[in-house]
Amino acid sequence: MQHSHSNNNMRRVIIALALTAAFMLVEVAGGIISGSLALLADAGHMLTDTMALALAAVAFSVSKRPPDKRLTYGYQRFQILAAFVNGLSLLVIVGWILFEAVSRFLDPPEVMGGTMLAVATAGLVVNLISFIVLHGGDRDNLNIRGAALHVAGDLLGSVAAIAAALVIISTGWMAIDPILSVAVAMLILRSAWMLVKRSSHVLLEGAPEWLDLDAMQEKVVTRVPTVTSIHHVHVWGLTPQDLMLTMHVCMAVQPDNPTEVIRGVKNVLQDEYGIGHSTIEIETENCADH
């Protein structure tokens, strides 16, 4: 089932990659001809999107490799690394748009509203198709979310460019071009920061944000009667969907069948929290790690 989800996600990313790469060239030409920062900003965004989507596709392919002697957990974490890189690239794009916008405020160039409107409208259609394709993938997968955020940024850029073009055609007010570019940059900034924050949390072996460790330990003690207490709990994930755990389980006396105790603890972790890979150490005396 997991490989099926991964293949579906990868197909969606490849479709979005083909659409984005093809239209990027059109938008670069349209931005240069019309003199529009909104179009050039979106084209620059689409350039990084092309690389980001390619990275996302590679990440899905690499993550399917089986574990080996060098990477005993396998390659699934590569998806999180790709999401982190994509988030950082979005932050760089925001910085570039803001820099260009300030330059345009100081020295506003002439913008060809008609050309800008035609290219931006075509871009809106392409970006909307790409976003729908990616939005239909696994929404909990950070790699697919990173790819979708890039395309969503392009979608917002196209909307801003259309609005700017309409204002320029009707009023001749050139300042609307950098103003709307800054507005789009601010929207991208929030999403990019959240992506970097979530992916870095996984890379730093952080526990899932939704998991209450105290409540989990109490539930294990309650559901497995022979267990008296728990300590040395570590929870992390290769991805947000693939959680792992280690813990020391304390017991008053040596159990007749330690395997049954371990199985009972594992059942609670799997049924209640979806933790499929856990390592349980049973203790009846002082902790060996002390």
pLDDT tens-digit map of 143-152: 777 778 778 8
- Structure confidence at residue 11 (pLDDT): 82
Residue 1 has pLDDT above 50, yes or no: no
- Structure confidence at residue 140 (pLDDT): 66
Is residue 289 assigned to a domain?
Answer: no
Domain final position from 156, 178, 203: 203
Q: What is the pTM of this model?
A: 0.72
Q: Are residues 105 and 220 in the same domain?
A: no
Q: Are residues 135 and 51 in the same domain?
A: yes
Q: For the chain, how many structural domains are there in total? A: 2
Is residue 253 assigned to a domain?
Answer: yes
Q: Are residues 82 and 146 in the same domain?
A: yes
Please compute the mean of the pLDDT values over residues 168-176 and round it to a whole number. 86
Domain final position from 203, 223, 247: 203
Q: Are residues 15 and 114 in the same domain?
A: yes
**Token representation of residue 108:** 């506003």
Report the CATH number that the domain containing residue 13 is assigned in CATH. Answer: 1.20.1510.10
Q: Taking Cα atoms as reference points, which of 101, 106, 108, 156 lies closest to residue 128?
A: 156
First to last CA, the chain: 42
Q: Taking Cα atoms as reference points, which of 93, 131, 123 lies closest to residue 13?
A: 131
Q: Are residues 48 and 123 in the same domain?
A: yes
Q: Are residues 174 and 57 in the same domain?
A: yes
How far is CA 66 from each of CA 3, 61, 97, 171, 242, rounded to the nearest angstrom? Answer: 12, 11, 41, 60, 15
Q: Using the 8-state DSSP alphabet, how is residue 95 labeled?
A: H
Report the CATH number that the domain containing residue 233 is assigned in CATH. Answer: 3.30.70.1350
Q: Taking Cα atoms as reference points, which of 147, 149, 156, 188 lies closest to residue 15?
A: 147
State which residues form the domain around 225. 213-283
Q: Are residues 197 and 219 in the same domain?
A: no
Q: Taking Cα atoms as reference points, which of 73, 57, 50 lies closest to residue 6?
A: 57
Q: Are residues 64 and 194 in the same domain?
A: yes
How far is CA 214 from each of CA 150, 211, 219, rounded to the nearest angstrom? Answer: 37, 9, 9
Is residue 178 assigned to a domain?
Answer: yes
Q: Are residues 56 and 118 in the same domain?
A: yes
Q: Are residues 129 and 263 in the same domain?
A: no
- Top mean pLDDT of 10-14, 104-108, 159-163, 266-270 is at 266-270
Q: Are residues 256 and 233 in the same domain?
A: yes
Is residue 263 assigned to a domain?
Answer: yes
How far is CA 80 from each of CA 17, 58, 84, 267, rounded to the nearest angstrom? Answer: 19, 12, 6, 28
Domain final position from 184, 203, 222: 203
Q: Are residues 64 and 159 in the same domain?
A: yes
According to DSSP, the β-strands at 242-251 and 277-283 are parallel
- Structure confidence at residue 44 (pLDDT): 65
Using DSSP's 3-state secondary structure scheme, residue 74 falls into coil
